[in-house]
């Protein structure tokens, strides 16, 4: 009989990614006829556990203390290892965030188990647990099974609806953990202002800019400065997330005029990220195949292009607007500004 454990840092209300991983763990436990536990670590896990009180977990385990509040490999790995041993888990599931991804392999090694990342499904085949994951940038899907235990997994966002339930009072069992002396100390966090953020994983809309923004426009002029203002204004007004094609990101490295706020972190597609936003709007992308691969999990896909025969017009977008992206986005920004002012 498998014994499942869901693990997550306790940072107040759990993130959407964590709640999706919890839902996937619960579904797997139900399919196997097994039970699952919840393991949390952080400064104080009670509030996080109370928010999950109705999830159906057999028990709640927690490693707490001020030394576990900050993201640090030594303390995070020690806490996760202690929780896995206390639960006697054979399958450990965590959200593919920065903290879990960093310690995944190390925790599996300490437990004498095996680890798999980028998991996009937890199907049951013949009564046995398996994992689904994509290969070669979502062009191939593989189904894996392992006999080694514990099996430590990092599940990607979007694989299950986020768990939701009424908060309550969870009975949390404290787990003792004494990590090795930390050699690093977190003195603070520096981040750009909210209105300067261009990557927002939880945004409802992904706005993707293509190389066409930096090319000569119908009047024969290059309007990179105007393109920057239009895109940044739209991101600010819509609170959307910004993506880009490889060709546009590469222009910066080649010393050509490009959008200065873009980096490789914005790149989506075969050599970039695979976002999972409910909606997507592509502009000046010309239907590049590597780019469209990155849109596999976008719910509703729309595009703006002056070329009615581009790749998007051949079925890669749900709706194609044959129009000048500069004119369209200028009008959209005006409408959004008026709505915000009203």
Dump pLDDT digits (tens) for 56-81.
999 999 999 999 998 999 999 999 99
Please give the helix or strand (H or E) that residue 334 lies within, else none.
helix 325-341
Residue 287 has pLDDT above 60, yes or no: no
Please tell me which residue, 228 or 196, carries the higher pLDDT value: 228
Q: Which pLDDT score, from 0 to 100, does residue 168 have?
A: 95
Q: Which pLDDT score, from 0 to 100, does residue 312 have?
A: 62
Please give the helix or strand (H or E) that residue 132 lies within, else none.
strand 131-135
Mean pLDDT within 168-175: 96
**From edge to edge, which strands make up the β-sheet containing 300-305?**
241-244, 205-209, 279-283, 300-305, 319-322
Q: Which pLDDT score, from 0 to 100, does residue 290 have?
A: 45
Q: Which pLDDT score, from 0 to 100, does residue 253 have?
A: 59
- Report field, pTM of the whole predicted structure over 0.85: no
Query: What is the average pLDDT value for the chain, to the nearest integer?
Result: 88
Per-residue pLDDT band for 270 (boundaries 50, 70, 90) equals: low
Q: Which pLDDT score, from 0 to 100, does residue 257 have?
A: 65
Is 10 in contact with 40 (CB distance < 8 Å)? yes
Per-residue pLDDT band for 197 (boundaries 50, 70, 90) equals: confident
Q: Is the peptide bond before 308 cis (omega within 30 degrees of 0)?
A: no
Burial class (CB in 10 A: 0-12, 13-18, 19+), 331: exposed
Please state which of the ranges 5-9, 84-88, 306-310 shows the lowest mean pLDDT: 306-310
């Amino acid at each position: 009989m498998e014994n499942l454990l869901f693990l997550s840092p306790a940072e107040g209300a759990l993130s959407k990614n964590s709640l999706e991983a919890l839902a996937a763990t619960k579904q797997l436990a139900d399919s196997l006829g097994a039970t699952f536990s919840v393991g949390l670590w952080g400064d104080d896990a009670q509030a996080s556990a109370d928010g999950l009180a109705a999830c159906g977990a057999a028990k709640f385990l927690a490693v707490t203390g001020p030394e576990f509040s900050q993201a640090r490999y030594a303390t995070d790995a020690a806490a996760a290892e202690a929780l896995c041993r206390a639960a006697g888990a054979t399958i450990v599931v965590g959200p593919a965030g920065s903290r879990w991804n960093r310690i995944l392999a190390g925790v599996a090694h300490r437990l004498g188990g095996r680890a798999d990342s980028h998991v996009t499904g937890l199907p049951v085949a013949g009564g046995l647990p398996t994992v689904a994951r994509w290969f070669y940038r979502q062009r191939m899907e593989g189904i894996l099974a392992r006999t080694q235990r514990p099996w430590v997994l990092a599940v990607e966002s979007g694989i299950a609806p986020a768990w939701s339930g009424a908060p309550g009072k969870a009975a949390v069992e404290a787990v003792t953990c004494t990590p090795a002396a930390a050699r690093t100390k977190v003195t603070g966090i520096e981040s750009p202002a909210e209105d300067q953020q261009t990557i927002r994983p939880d945004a409802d809309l992904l706005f993707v800019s293509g190389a066409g923004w930096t090319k000569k426009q119908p009047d024969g002029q290059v309007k990179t400065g105007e393109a920057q203002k239009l895109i940044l204004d739209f991101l600010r007004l819509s609170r959307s997330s910004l993506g880009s094609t490889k060709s546009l990101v590469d222009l910066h490295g080649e010393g050509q005029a490009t959008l200065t706020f873009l980096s490789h972190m914005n790149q989506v597609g075969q050599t970039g990220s695979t976002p999972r936003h409910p909606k997507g709007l592509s502009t000046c992308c010309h239907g590049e195949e590597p780019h469209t691969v990155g849109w596999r999990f976008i719910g509703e896909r729309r595009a703006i292009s002056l070329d009615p025969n581009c790749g998007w017009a051949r079925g890669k977008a749900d709706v194609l607007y044959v129009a000048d992206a500069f004119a369209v986005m200028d009008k959209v920004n005006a409408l959004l500004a008026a709505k915000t002012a009203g």
